[in-house]
Amino acid sequence: MRRLCSLIVNALIPIRWRSNCESPEEPETNSEVNFPAISSLKDVEQSCGKGPPKRAADYNRDLTPKERQGCDRSVGESEEVVAQLTEDEDESEEDGGEFRVDSSDEFYCGYDSTWETEDQEPRCSGTRRPAAGHVSPEARCAVRRGANCTYKFRSFENAAKDMQNYRHDYPSLSKMSRWNESDDQPNLKFHLGLMPSVPDDAFIKDFHNDWYGDYNRLESGHSYIQWLFPLQEPGVNYQARTLTKDEIKDICQSSLALSNLLESYKLMLDFYGIELLNEQTGQLTRALNWKARFNNLNSHTHNNLRITRILKCLGTLGYPHYQAHLVRFFLEETLVNRELPQIKDSVLNYFVFAVLDKRHRRSLIKFAYLNYDGKDEFVWCPKKIQMMWSRESASLQKAYL
């Protein structure tokens, strides 16, 4: 009965929960940056304390009683979502025959491992392996759905290559240019507060204290995001270094570095009109100034690239459990509340597939499918899975009525 009620809620009553990936550019190698010597992590953390103080939004405090009631309600609704995600995780689908997808499926994507079962060979190389005599999904889309479906699938497939590469920890990394490999560990030093970013010449505390709420500065700047959320792939700031395996290990073992990363996450959440309710779970809700910030998101879609980077960084540097909450928030605001129409494609092509946990990723795709208008053009999931979910939903609706 508990499972039945949970599925009915998911199928009939969407829960209230409050694109594009950064294309690596060829980095330049002629920058001359001198990095300071690093002390032991223990010494640095003892000298710096336990990290920055907790911060809350300082905007729109003069709310009417009605507005405050709405804010309180959103918090309660977010707590319901956390409970349902927990249930979904407990009752998540096991890898088995029901998720075994043949390459002839109408929306089969050879770059997406979401539907691979445990006994299938993972496609870590990011290369597509169609079966012999396989008809491409693009061709089937063109015949059955039309040009719009074909365009959507091609966009998804192009994104899937990048997201598969990320989720499998960059298997082709050894083939990439090693232009930035050294013992300097600039990303680690920056997150420990030992060196400033380049070219902004700002320490991580400066971003947290001086840039917080400075929306024009955060919007117009394009060199800070690679420092706040480093990845193993390059971004547009050639003076920022890509993340190394040693840095990943050291940052994940440093409470100070992780605390600073958390503050950076809060900084950007506030910029996007989102508030972190629970640091343990990653639970989110709308911030008080969400309307103005959502308007900015809709009109400045380059932020989709930043959000993709943030999601990847969270998964790499100790906060993978935050990923599903952020993606669920954006799915809710795009597909259910329809407040962020301009980022919908990025949410479906990139954000969802940045989630490392396969069970969470499947659950998010299911939520997206059940709340997507025009299901005939939902290309982000094999047709076999879609039909299974549709039958399940129809059965539950019949039982509910």
Backbone angles phi, psi at 138, to 5 degrees: -60, -40
pLDDT in tens, 134-148: 555 555 555 455 678
Cα 80 to Cα 151: distance, rounded to the nearest angstrom: 36
Q: What percent of the chain is modeled with pLDDT above 70?
A: 65
pLDDT in tens, 11-67: 444 434 433 444 433 333 344 445 555 555 665 555 555 444 444 444 444 445 554
Which of 291, 388, 249 lies closest to 59 in space, CA to CA? 291
C-alpha angle 151/153/157, rounded to 5°? 120
Q: Are 378 and 386 in contact (CB under 8 A)?
A: yes
pLDDT in tens, 358-398: 999 999 999 999 999 999 999 999 999 999 999 988 888 77
pLDDT in tens, 218-244: 999 999 999 999 999 999 999 999 999
Other beta carbons within 10 Å of 90: 10
- Res 269 pLDDT > 90: yes
User: Under 8 Å CB-to-CB from 81, ≥6 apart: which residues?
Assistant: 15, 16, 17, 283, 328
Q: State the pLDDT confidence band at 121, using cuts at 50, 70 and 90.
A: very low
- What is the identity of the amino acid at 206? D
Between the CA of residue 174 and those of 125, 169, 179, 181, what are the distances in Å? 12, 11, 12, 12
Backbone angles phi, psi at 79, to 5 degrees: -65, -35
Cα 186 to Cα 195: distance, rounded to the nearest angstrom: 8
Q: How much is the mean pLDDT over the chain?
A: 79
By the 10 Å C-beta count (0-12 exposed, 13-18 middle, 19+ buried), 114 is classed as buried
Q: Where are the beta strands (DSSP E) in 86-236?
A: none
Q: Are 263 and 51 in contact (CB under 8 A)?
A: yes
- What are the tokens at 347? 């949410």
Q: Are 18 and 87 in contact (CB under 8 A)?
A: no
Q: Are 84 and 9 in contact (CB under 8 A)?
A: yes
pLDDT at 47: 54
Cα 189 to Cα 206: distance, rounded to the nearest angstrom: 14
User: Under 8 Å CB-to-CB from 263, ≥6 apart: which residues?
Assistant: 51, 52, 55, 204, 208
